[in-house]
Amino acid sequence: MKGVLSHFLLQIPVLILLLILLFMDKSQSSPISGAKYSFSIRNKVHVLPYDISPNTQPLPFIPLLAPSPLIPFTNDSLPKLSGLCSLNFSAVQDIMTKTATNCWTTFAPYLANVVCCPQFDAMLITLIGQSSKYSGLLALSKTQANHCLSDIQKVLVSQGANENLNNICSVHPSNLTEGLCPVASVDEFESIADSSRLLTACREINPVNECCDQVCQNAIDYAARKIALNDMSNSNGNSSLPPKIARIKDCKNIILRWLAGKLNPSTSNSVFRGLSNCNLNKGEQRENKNMDFLANLSEYKS
């Protein structure tokens, strides 16, 4: 008897709650007023509708997604340039964007010699070469070189490149001048060098074949020597002239800029990247030969 009574007493609160809910359902068909968050028991099941109107765009399930690691974090604000650089940046806009991607702020120090710096060098050569179509010059003065290199870095950094790109790749304003090469204008260059031979050899290269056959590289070497030694025959043994090797190296840069002015930016960038890869492979081969020599020497001593 006691068990039945206790069970009945436990059911009383449940019955009272059901009566209260029933009374509220009958007496109120509109949401409760005066509450901070109004609701209706009758319509509670419709708080999350099954179908979404096509006119409204739902919020994404994941509101923020990280950008692809291959795309640099860019700064939408335009960099403040000096206004004293005469180079035509718009002519190589795509190449500059590619350079910023290859020299992305985080990866630039680790990919410097393999990806970033070769692309940076190719971009600088292409930029000066394309601008030579209007200026007739294959080199900048020291003053212009300072302004232009600063502006170039600002543009690249605004597109995600490393802020210390010039230091990472050891690029200085002097790299944009003629250096020790005695030729700096397009007209003077074409009066000395064999232009048709250069274009035939370097207009389009196969990176694999070029590293083996060195057709374009040999044409560049020949033209660089001819230009660098052009005024030495009249020097009468003057020892104050710069060393031949340094002159030839700087004249190679002049030749590459001239080629960049004759090719479209995309083609010239591909050609210079291919030549850079060949030089990189040569360096690795020399290093491997040195390592083999040291290994053989240690075996001989042991």
**To the nearest whole number, what is the mean pLDDT of the chain?**
78
The tokens of 79 are what? 């960099």
- Which pLDDT belongs to residue 184? 96
Helix ranges (DSSP H) in 136-173: 142-158, 165-168
**Averaged pLDDT, 187-204:** 95
Q: Which of 49-53, 71-75, 110-114, 173-177 has the lowest mean pLDDT?
A: 49-53
Q: How far apart are CA 106 and CA 194, in angstroms?
A: 43
Q: CA torsion 150→174→220→85, rounded to 10°?
A: 40
Mean pLDDT score, 269-290: 74
Predicted TM-score (pTM) above 0.85: no
Kindly state the average pLDDT of the residues 15-24: 61
Do the Cβ atoms of 138 and 189 come closer than 8 Å? yes
Stretch 46-69: mean pLDDT: 46
pLDDT at position 78, please?
Answer: 74
Residue 291 has pLDDT above 90, yes or no: no
Instruction: Please state the rounded mean pLDDT for residues 2-21.
Output: 59
Q: How many helices (H) and strands (E) does the chain have?
A: 11, 0
Minimum mean pLDDT range among 2-16, 85-99, 234-248, 283-297: 283-297
Highest mean pLDDT pick, 52-61, 201-210, 252-261, 286-295: 252-261
What local confidence, expressed as pLDDT, does residue 243 receive? 74
Q: Which comes out higher in pLDDT, residue 279 or 148?
A: 148
261 HSE (CA, 13 A, CB side): 25
On the 0-12 / 13-18 / 19+ scale of CB atoms within 10 A, 189 is buried
CA-to-CA dists, residue 111 to 72, 104, 135, 165, 281, angstroms: 15, 9, 34, 12, 16
From CA 134, how far away is CA 144, in angstroms rounded? 16
Q: Mean pLDDT throughout 11-35?
A: 54
pLDDT at 302 over 50: no
Q: Mean pLDDT lowest for which of 50-59, 90-99, 105-114?
A: 50-59
Mean of the pLDDT values across residues 4-25?
Answer: 59
Confidence of residue 279 (pLDDT cuts 50, 70, 90): confident
